[in-house]
Structure 1
Amino acid sequence: MIQKIHKSIIEGEIAAPSSKSALQRLIASAFLAKGQSIIQYKTLSDDALAGLNLIKSLGALVEKDDKVIKITGGFNNPKSELLIGESGLGLRMFTPILALHKDAFNITGKGSLLKRPVDFIVNTLKDFDIEIHSNQGKLPLKIKGPYKNTKVNVDGEFSSQLLTGLLMALPLAETDSVLSVSNLKSKPYIDLTIEILNKFGIEVYHNNYELFNIPANQEYKPINITTEGDWSGAAFLVVAGAIAGQIRITDIDLDSAQGDKAIVDIVEKAGAKVDRFDNALVVSKKELLSFEYDATDTPDLFPPLVALAVFCKGRSVIHGVHRLIHKESNRALTLKTEFEKIGAKIILDGDKMIVEGSKITGSKVSSHHDHRIAMALAVAGLQADGEMIIEDSEAVGKSWPDFFENLREIGGSLRFENYI
């Protein structure tokens, strides 16, 4: 699908989409609970649907109605062949959960996930004496539990998502677990995991994110919960307001554990006007100046920050480029390639990205089937001279299927075309 975007002045109100990160964790936790959990949501991403389909394959009862998911969890005659779509979080979170069961499973994905390395999953879980094999470092994975060793060193350099899966699975192990974690990145996402585990009655203890103690033989209790708004998605709305008009963003928790809420402070320091309310904020356009930010713990902020930086006077510097290599695309190179097509000047210098404020002109660009690249280009298109044509724009379905429609509702001049 192609989206065509013209320069626009936006004004209006949008509810933040449901947090993809939180909803996937809620789905996994509800699967592990005894009894029925009820999860309310506003938007259902492709990744969340992939998680629901996977737990159904494992035997969970899933009922999906108007903005409500009912999950009765537990392994129940599970299928051995499993699909997790394109969800990297889903793969890294559910693989440790599969190791709780005595049966063998084969889990694979599709699209860009098939190209992502899985050696770190294999190497980590082998330390738990789990039987696990990959296809020459790529999917599919073959895995067979149970956990035989629960005192392990875990390297958090590559991803915090595997640690999330371990924190979810190990409370159900038969022996207490002690994880010594080094080089942990994205600590806010571990905070989110622990917050959700606590809601399900699970206790996890840590000392400065370096030593995790997890009591064994715990029990997940079913809950009724509303999925919080997504700061990773809302970040694009915050930038849209800062560069193209005024926007009120609702259904967003300003005290959330999600690290991407840092976008609010960034745009405010760059010069945008920000007004905060209970579960809402208003962002308004003003003159913007360059900024510097370390996105090592919040790498999903890179795309909206690049869309912001090209409209700031001066050179903005974003640190943490190494976190972008194994996303849906190599986001550092993709951002540089696609934004340079529209006039941006971007330098990759070791672990930092330098973005110079530039005159932005619409052009034909590609999302590389990366949802956050598509959204970043769309936001930039709101203030580009000329027509922005985004190929593979349907990629937004991974996290926010209604993104373009929502942008149109507040004044974005957008038109889509199917490929011929």
Structure 2
Amino acid sequence: MLEPTSYIKLSPGVYYGTLTAPPSKSYLQRAVAFASLCPETSVITGYKANNDTDAVLGLVKSIGAEVNIQGDTIHIKGLSQYDLPVHLHSGESGLAARMFGGISTLYNNSVVIEGRGSLLNRPMHMVEQALQLLGKTVVSQNGFLPLHISGKLQPGKITIDASETSQLLTGLLIALPLAKGDTTLHVHNLCSQPYIAMTLEMLEKAGVSIQHKNFSDFFIRGNQHFKPLQYQVEGDWSGAAFHMAAAAISGHVCIKGLNPTSAQGDRIICDVLKSAGALVTLSDEAVTVIKSDLHDFHFDATMYPDLFPPLAALAAHCKGTSVITGTQRLTQKESNRALSLQSEFQKLGIQIKLSENEMHITGGKITGGSVNSHNDHRIAMALALMSLNAKMPVEIEHYETVNKSYPDFFSDFNESKH
């Protein structure tokens, strides 16, 4: 991993080469959670360290699972009893905190979930409200971490609102099949359907059946059991999106390790790049992106909030004004990403206008200079893309924040820039 430092200076350059996508953090975290709830040993291959995945590994160790890491392979022997009080530290991972908030329903004794850094500013009221409907007692810090959870799970029929995040729903879908009774979840305003599709796909691999109607009504039969996983983690479309956008901006790149039929919603980046004029070829072996004349595009990113940063960098290099819808999804990330992008792009000479739920980005000449990641891994990566065609180098403060999801990003970026 990168050693913490204050800044990195990136010079302009042409982007070309062949890369292997990092493993999907979302799939990897889910696989670890599933394995922790199976008393037999699961084997997960494709592991690569990052802060968020390591936070989940720390959580499953805290609940008593046996974890053995050898190279890129993780062996996990999970639990069949959930009686001990546990204290869980989520690091800065929103998925870890909210997913294990749902999983905590299985514990009859007390559970404490805490975190640090930006996670302390991310809301947890949805966890508090849902768990109370399931019979749990939850005490929070005015809707934020830490959470103190106790009481006995009471399966039944509940309604939850998923307009802010789908991460709690993922945790409930993992936990409730192991409950002593059946549960029906009515879900309003699901904001990230692709992530729930990923969760359901993984549950099927673990031998668990959940029926749903249009991702709004979920019938969860209790007294099911997880079977051990033998799982190869696929490549991460969210991380690869930055390299694909970089190639569209300034070069030609081939990215291996991506599943062209993945449930990951962010693979829609291929369609957006094409709509902006880039040349994109997709096969079972690799994705190839080649620079061409770029023009403005319109895209609704409500279901794909992690694509805002690379698409904002793409739009800065397009002729005309591009419009990306869904900025309401950005306020409770590691930073307020809409405001962070607006602030830092302005320093580089690019204007972003924010309306009620839209981001308008007018392409232009990028000056270079000093910018700040706002301790947000995806903002740091987007700012790296802004250096490719800048007049002067771009200096990014707090660039080491990429350790949260993709510690090798700047190594891969610099190796591909010429």
- Structure 2 length-normalised TM: 0.97
Q: Deviations over 1:194-244 (max 9, x none)?
A: 000100001111101111001100000001111111111011011011011
The alpha carbon displacement at 1:279 in A equals 3.5
Which of 50, 57, 61 aligns to 2:55? It is 50
Quick check: 1:245–1:284 contact (8 Å CA) kept in 2?
yes
Matched, 1:334 2:340: yes
* Deviations 1:71-122, CA, capped at 9 Å, x for gaps: 0011577563220100001111011111201110111001100111211211
- Deviations 1:316-339 (Å, cap 9, x if unpaired)? 000001000100001110110011
Secondary structure of the residue that 1:38 maps to in structure 2?
A: strand
Partner of 1:140: 146
Residue 166 of structure 1 corresponds to which residue in structure 2?
172
Tell me whether 1:389 sits opposite 2:395 in the alignment: yes
- Are the counterparts in 2 of residues 362 and 386 from structure 1 also a CA contact under 8 Å? yes
Mapped pair 1:307 → 2:307: no
For 1:48, give the aligned amino acid.
Answer: T
User: For residue 116 of structure 2, what is the amino acid of its counterpart?
Assistant: K
Superposition RMSD in Å:
1.2
- How far apart are the structure 2 equivalents of 1:337 and 1:321? 15
Which residues in structure 2 correspond to 1:343-358 (within 5 Å)? Answer: 343-358=349-364
Kept in 2: contact 1:100–1:145 (CA 8 A) = no
**Count of residues in correspondence between the two structures:** 412
1:267 corresponds in structure 2 to 273
Equivalent AA in structure 1 for residue 255 of structure 2? I
Q: For the Cα contact (< 8 Å) 1:185–1:297, is it kept in 2? A: yes
- In the TM superposition, residue 43 of structure 1 has moved relative to its aligned partner by 2.3
In 1, the alpha carbon distance for the partners of 2:351 and 2:154 equals: 52
1:369 aligned partner, one-letter code? N
Does residue 233 (structure 1) correspond to residue 239 (structure 2)? The answer is yes
- SS across alignment from 2:129: helix
Match among 6, 9, 28 for residue 14 of structure 2: 9
Return the alpha-carbon distance in structure 1 between the equivalents of residues 25 and 94 of structure 2. 12
Deviation at 1:175, TM superposition (A): 0.8
Which whole-Å CA distance do the structure 2 matches of 1:133 and 1:279 have between them?
A: 49
In the other structure, the counterpart of 2:114 is 108
Q: Is 1:190 matched up with 2:196? A: yes
Q: Moved runs in structure 1, 4+ residues, more than 3 A?
A: 75-79
Distance in 1 (alpha carbons) for counterparts of 2:177 and 2:231: 21
Aligned mates of 2:125, 2:335 — CA distance in 1: 18
Q: Is the 8 A contact 2:373 2:396 kept in 1?
A: yes
Residue correspondence of structure 1 range 241-252 to structure 2 within 5 A = 241-252=247-258
Give the residue type in structure 2 aligned to 1:157.
Answer: S
Q: Deviations over 1:134-188 (max 9, x none)?
A: 0122211001243113310011111111111110010001111101111111101
Distance 2:412 2:151 in 1: 44
Task: Report SS of the residue matched to 2:32.
Answer: helix
**Corresponding position: 1:28 with 2:33:** yes
Matched, 1:67 2:72: yes
- Pick from 98, 102, 108: which aligns with 2:104? 98
Aligned partner letter, 2:364? S
What's the TM-score once normalised by structure 1's chain length? 0.96
In structure 1, the residue matched to 2:264 is: 258
Q: Structure 1: where are the runs of 5+ without partners? A: 413-420
Q: What is the letter of the counterpart of residue 52 of structure 1?
A: L
Q: Is the 8 A contact 2:278 2:291 kept in 1?
A: yes
Q: Using the TM superposition, give the Cα deviation of residue 42 of structure 1 relative to its aligned residue in structure 2, in angstroms.
A: 4.8
Post-superposition shift, 1:348? Answer: 0.3
The alignment status of 1:282 with 2:288, answered yes or no, reads yes
Is contact 1:316-1:354 (8 Å) kept? Answer: yes
- Preserved contact between residue 57 and residue 79 of structure 1 (Cα < 8 Å): no
CA distance in 2, matches of 1:76, 1:211: 27
Q: Deviation string for 1:25-65 (max 9, x for gaps)?
A: 00101111120001111522210000001110110000011
Letter in 1 for 2:61: K
What does residue 404 of structure 2 align with? 398
Structure-1 residue corresponding to 2:94: 88
Tell me how far apart the structure 2 counterparts of residues 241 and 291 of structure 1 sit (CA, whole Å).
17
The code of the aligned residue for 1:143 comes to I
AA in 1 matched with 2:329: R
Aligned match of 1:416: none
2:250–2:389: 8 Å Cα contact kept in structure 1?
Answer: yes
What amino acid does structure 2 have at the position aligned with 1:19? Answer: S
- Percent identical among aligned pairs is 46
Q: Is 1:121 the equivalent of 2:127?
A: yes
